[in-house]
Structure 1
Amino acid sequence: MQATQSTLAPTDGEIVAERRTLWRWHFYAGLFVMPLLIVLAITGTLYCFQPQIEPMLYRDRMVVADTHAPRLSTDALLAKAVAAEPRDAVPTLAQIEAGRTRSAEFVFRLASGESESVYVNPYDGAVLGKLSVEHRLMKQIRNLHRGLMLGKPGELLMELAGCWTLVMIGTGVALWWPWSAGSRRTGGVWTPRLSLAGRAWWRDLHAVGGVWLAIGALFFVLSGLPWSGSWGKQFKALATSASLGYPKGAWGEAHVHSTAPGNAPHDAHAMHGMAMKMDDLPLHQTPWAVGATAMPESAGATDNATAGSRLSLDDVIALAAKSGVVDDYGIALPSSRTGVYTVSYFPADPRDERTLHIDQYSGRVLSDISYRTYGTVARAISYGTSLHMGRYFGVANQIVCSVISLGLAALSVTGFVMWLKRRPSRTLGAPSRPAKRPPMRAWRGALALVGVVFPLMGLTMLAVWCLDRVAFGRRTGIGARA
């Protein structure tokens, strides 16, 4: 029996070969991910504190003194904002804030195609100022976080960075794992050995810090990928169509169209042919579960449908309040005479998420989408999003997210320092490949699974493997310096 066990147990040479193979993959993943991870960490931390940062930056527009006077009606405030804009500016969004010290915000689409927020004092109707939606600081930070402000190519690059972070986490934990049988030491495993010097000190700091941050990093990646520009959109569409995201049956009544006076509604199934989705609306935030759902439209308006027959904003606010939506939500205004009012509530607790489509003429609630109508996948992603953005349990959540994010940036720095200290002059300094390739079936299977789930990642893994064979393919013995 002992002989059989010794035959099955890996030899010291095989262990070294496996570690060196893992190290090579960790090196390539880190080489690509490190600079992008620093960008993700810094922008993510800043965006996490958006609720505190924006009122400080734009205090003159967003914050007002509470005069204890009655607030003007929302329609009167919108009229003040419309008067301050060019004649060709189109109101697209009303942001509803119940706080007594917050101004009223209305978003307009300009003739140039850009959008602009207008802030109005809710007590006296004074226009406090304007702010470009596209160029405000937090919008820029969000664009950096999602795609380096490079459009689609940047989104794909950041998506790849997230996927390669999975490889970096997996290989990092495997390299950290105490490979010696019965090893019980804590120094260099759970705590860094600060008595070391040089590269060894940096290695302990990197390895121990990495394993403490591994779970948080894994959560960040898995909760962020559903929002990515390529894989995330495809996954959302798949989840929606398979009723894993927003179930089709949750629309409720067959009639889901805004009916202008004098018109009969289309068949309910007509909405599925419409190109406009919830994600296309000018909302500041849209719940993930409803982003890929089609927007309802009416059969069409007639000349009898005058502007005066449209429901007022104050009526829409009253309808939202009856449904339990009272503060910090957006109302997307109808973009045509056949459109609908869309109330989007994206609170810190995902269980309170709500989306209402309201007939702009009759005030009928055509669709009421809540968390309880979500599919299993969408519920999990909603929780993940709230935690990822530092919203779920307040300031403590923001602090935890910041510690993880900045810790990952620090790991990138320590990894870079280790590389500089080890790298020979004028070479890439990739860890040498062992002379005999170890089987590592579980590892190869895991990589194949990641490549199948994330096809773009699979293509880049294949490219890295080919490049490694062609450009950096020198084999060395397993006893080479680690």
Structure 2
Amino acid sequence: MSTTTAQRATSATGAVNAGYRTLWRWHFYAGLFVMPFLVVLAVTGTLYCFQPQIEPLLYPHRLIVEPQATTPRLTEDALLAKARAAMPADARAVTAPIASAPDRSTEFIFRLAGGEKQSVYLNPYSGEVLGTLSVERRFMQVDRMLHRKLLLGKPGELLMELAACWTLVMIGTGVALWWPREKTTARAALVPRFSLQGRALWKNLHAVMGIWLALGALIFVLSGLPWTGSWGKQFKAVATAANLGAPPGSWGGLPLRSALPGVRADKHAGTADTNAGMQPDHAAHQANMDSMPGMVMDDLPLPLTPWAVGNTPVPQSADAHAAQALPLGRIVALVASLGVQSGYDIVLPASATGVYTVSYFPADPKNERTLYIDQYSGTVLKDIRYGDYGAVSKAVSYGTSLHMGRYFGVANQILCAAISLGLAGMAVTGCVMWWKRRPQRSLGAPSRERAAPPMRGWKTGLVLLGIVFPLMGATLLAVWLADRTIFGRATRQAA
């Protein structure tokens, strides 16, 4: 081959691979940060996805009972009385999960004097107390907090949010690196080549596995971000302001009062109108004052709460110290008459002015429902349904159901597990690839291109990503500065 021909070939190869090392460099940095968190998210997410199957295996003597075909179940009120008798005198019943499966125990959640929540389980046929479990320390709750916050509180929650955002960079750059730059067959691009050896085999496995998982990983990230503590909270606020989130009154600003027995109904008739004339911030503050002080739906001991009502202040019944609250059984019968039979939670009134709060979060988001019921009259003060959600809240509800493996049963669980464990496999193959090519006493980041193309599209995308996710934008800037000032001096041409 002549010198001119070789130069042309080199030039052509350079043109084909223009920008490759820049993308690889950003993919490397994203993977370096994301991989440890990805493994944690994959393992904890897979476990939580199979919660319905795992928990009965962990706590069979508390959760499972022998079905009794001839013995009727005790009433909810009789079971609640037995649960109260089994708990310390200063413990307060806060939640009653309602389930009708004949082989499952009845559960009530109590808040102890020190603030800890504890579940007590009873045989629904005999009323025998089967045992208790700490809500905060039960296996699946610990797994859930690892998934959301690494058991580190707010700092851990922010770290997990950052990991999710950087996963978007990893997915985008990974697809771009995989994208065929020369003529190739679909089989070569989508099927692993096990005939390869060494690092080439690991690279091929990593690329092919990644492209198969890319769409699922993207859905996982986008469906999980609305639940994050920083960006998710702001996203809810923006969706609500644009009338795309929760319906009016679900986020405060609409205090709800019920007519008291023996008190004229018009006594409280001006409450809503008075608050309607307030400035928005003051109206929301007044709504919170009329609710349990400082408590929102996310604070309640509900294992599953619809995203659209996650920040809804819990309304109260009007003040009535002498009135008699309706028993729990009446509320269960009322909810059944409204079309919700089982698989929901009832938050019990916390004070003389509290209300019964019903949260129904089934596998099919179209049936989601949140009810506020006056504890004295049984009047439904608020009935929030899927049809009341805005477009964003509807999309988030479906995303959440898919994310948790609930929407289409066991097949959904298996699909989520396959994606999660596949992402963990991506982290492992990426780590092996880095280990095989790492230089001694160096980070081993891919070197910069001497004449990198402008890549305006990618730069614009990163800027937009940083604007949409401000926390990530700050870390993007930090990584760019570190890359220019620290790591840039030590990079070398990769093999």
Aligned residue in 2 for 1:323 = 338
Aligned residue in 1 for 2:131 = 129
Aligned residue in 1 for 2:104 = 102
**Superposed displacement of residue 282, structure 1:** 1.7
Aligned residue in 1 for 2:271 = 267
Question: How far apart, CA to CA, are the structure 2 residues paired with 1:260 and 1:294?
Answer: 21
SS of the residue corresponding to residue 190 of structure 2 reads coil
Question: How far apart, CA to CA, are the structure 1 residues paired with 2:313 and 2:255?
Answer: 14
Gaps of 5+ in 2: 1-10, 276-282, 289-293
SS of the residue corresponding to residue 488 of structure 2 reads coil
Question: In the alignment, is the contact (CA less than 8 A) between 1:244 and 1:377 conserved in 2?
Answer: yes
Q: Structure 2 residue aligned with 1:455, among 470, 483, 490?
A: 470
Question: How far apart, CA to CA, are the structure 2 residues paired with 1:446 and 1:406?
Answer: 28
SS of the residue corresponding to residue 141 of structure 1 reads helix
Aligned residue in 2 for 1:66 = 67
SS of the residue corresponding to residue 248 of structure 1 reads coil
Question: How far apart, CA to CA, are the structure 1 residues paired with 2:262 and 2:443?
Answer: 73
Question: How far apart, CA to CA, are the structure 2 residues paired with 1:141 and 1:336?
Answer: 32
After the TM superposition, which residues 156-171 of structure 1 pair with which residues of structure 2 at under 5 Å, given as runs? 156-171=158-173
Task: Summarize deviations over 1:88-124 as a string: whole Å, max 9, x none.
Answer: 0000000101111111100000011110000011111
Task: Summarize deviations over 1:212-264 as a string: whole Å, max 9, x none.
Answer: 0000000000000001111112212322343211120689xx88324544554
SS of the residue corresponding to residue 342 of structure 1 reads strand
Task: Summarize deviations over 1:386-435 as a string: whole Å, max 9, x none.
Answer: 01000001000000000000000000000000000000111100000112
Task: Summarize deviations over 1:276-323 as a string: whole Å, max 9, x none.
Answer: 32222221110001112222224423x433xxx101111111111111
Question: How far apart, CA to CA, are the structure 1 residues paired with 2:330 and 2:491?
Answer: 75
**Superposed displacement of residue 184, structure 1:** 2.7
Aligned residue in 2 for 1:361 = 376
Aligned residue in 1 for 2:8 = none
Question: How far apart, CA to CA, are the structure 2 residues paired with 1:481 and 1:279?
Answer: 49
Aligned residue in 2 for 1:380 = 395
Q: Structure 2 residue aligned with 1:348, among 363, 386, 393?
A: 363
**Percentage of identical aligned residues:** 63
SS of the residue corresponding to residue 474 of structure 1 reads helix
Aligned residue in 2 for 1:46 = 47
Question: In the alignment, is the contact (CA less than 8 A) between 2:99 and 2:344 conserved in 1?
Answer: yes
Task: Summarize deviations over 1:124-168 as a string: whole Å, max 9, x none.
Answer: 111000000000000000000001000000000000000000000
Question: How far apart, CA to CA, are the structure 2 residues paired with 1:92 and 1:133?
Answer: 12
Q: Structure 2 residue aligned with 1:278, among 285, 289, 297?
A: 297
Question: In the alignment, is the contact (CA less than 8 A) between 1:258 and 1:296 conserved in 2?
Answer: no
Q: Are residues 473 and 15 of structure 1, via their aligned partners in 2, closer, same or farther at CA, if it must alter by over 3 Å?
A: farther
SS of the residue corresponding to residue 256 of structure 1 reads coil
SS of the residue corresponding to residue 381 of structure 2 reads strand
Question: How far apart, CA to CA, are the structure 2 residues paired with 1:15 and 1:159?
Answer: 35
Question: How far apart, CA to CA, are the structure 1 residues paired with 2:48 and 2:466?
Answer: 30
Aligned residue in 2 for 1:224 = 224
State whether structure 2 residue 247 is matched by structure 1 residue 242.
Answer: no
After the TM superposition, which residues 327-338 of structure 1 pair with which residues of structure 2 at under 5 Å, given as runs? 327-338=342-353
Question: In the alignment, is the contact (CA less than 8 A) between 2:44 and 2:147 conserved in 1?
Answer: yes
**Superposed displacement of residue 12, structure 1:** 4.1
SS of the residue corresponding to residue 19 of structure 2 reads helix
Let me know the Cα RMSD of the aligned residues. Answer: 1.9
Question: Normalising to structure 1: TM-score of the pair?
Answer: 0.92
Question: How far apart, CA to CA, are the structure 2 residues paired with 1:37 and 1:323?
Answer: 42
Question: In the alignment, is the contact (CA less than 8 A) between 2:96 and 2:108 conserved in 1?
Answer: yes
Q: Are residues 97 and 259 of structure 1, via their aligned partners in 2, closer, same or farther at CA, if it must alter by over 3 Å?
A: same
Aligned residue in 1 for 2:411 = 396
SS of the residue corresponding to residue 130 of structure 1 reads strand
SS of the residue corresponding to residue 222 of structure 2 reads helix
**Superposed displacement of residue 356, structure 1:** 0.5
Gaps of 5+ in 1: 1-9
Task: Summarize deviations over 1:431-479 as a string: whole Å, max 9, x none.
Answer: 00112232001101111111011000000000000000011123989xx
Question: How far apart, CA to CA, are the structure 1 residues paired with 2:47 and 2:233?
Answer: 25
Question: In the alignment, is the contact (CA less than 8 A) between 1:104 and 1:122 conserved in 2?
Answer: yes
Q: Structure 2 residue aligned with 1:304, among 315, 322, 336?
A: 322
SS of the residue corresponding to residue 106 of structure 1 reads strand
Aligned residue in 2 for 1:119 = 121
Q: Are residues 304 and 187 of structure 1, via their aligned partners in 2, closer, same or farther at CA, if it must alter by over 3 Å?
A: closer
Query: Given residue 290 of structure 1, which amino acid in structure 2 is its aligned partner?
Result: V
**Superposed displacement of residue 174, structure 1:** 0.1
Q: Structure 1 residue aligned with 2:177, among 175, 178, 182?
A: 175
SS of the residue corresponding to residue 324 of structure 1 reads coil
Aligned residue in 1 for 2:6 = none
| Worse-superposed segment, 260-269 or 154-163 | 260-269
Q: Are residues 130 and 450 of structure 1, via their aligned partners in 2, closer, same or farther at CA, if it must alter by over 3 Å?
A: same
State whether structure 2 residue 313 is matched by structure 1 residue 294.
Answer: yes
Query: Given residue 192 of structure 1, which amino acid in structure 2 is its aligned partner?
Result: P
SS of the residue corresponding to residue 150 of structure 1 reads coil
Task: Summarize deviations over 1:179-218 as a string: whole Å, max 9, x none.
Answer: 12xx133454111111110000000000000000000000
Question: In the alignment, is the contact (CA less than 8 A) between 2:206 and 2:429 conserved in 1?
Answer: yes
Aligned residue in 2 for 1:433 = 448
SS of the residue corresponding to residue 91 of structure 1 reads strand
Question: In the alignment, is the contact (CA less than 8 A) between 2:17 and 2:181 conserved in 1?
Answer: no
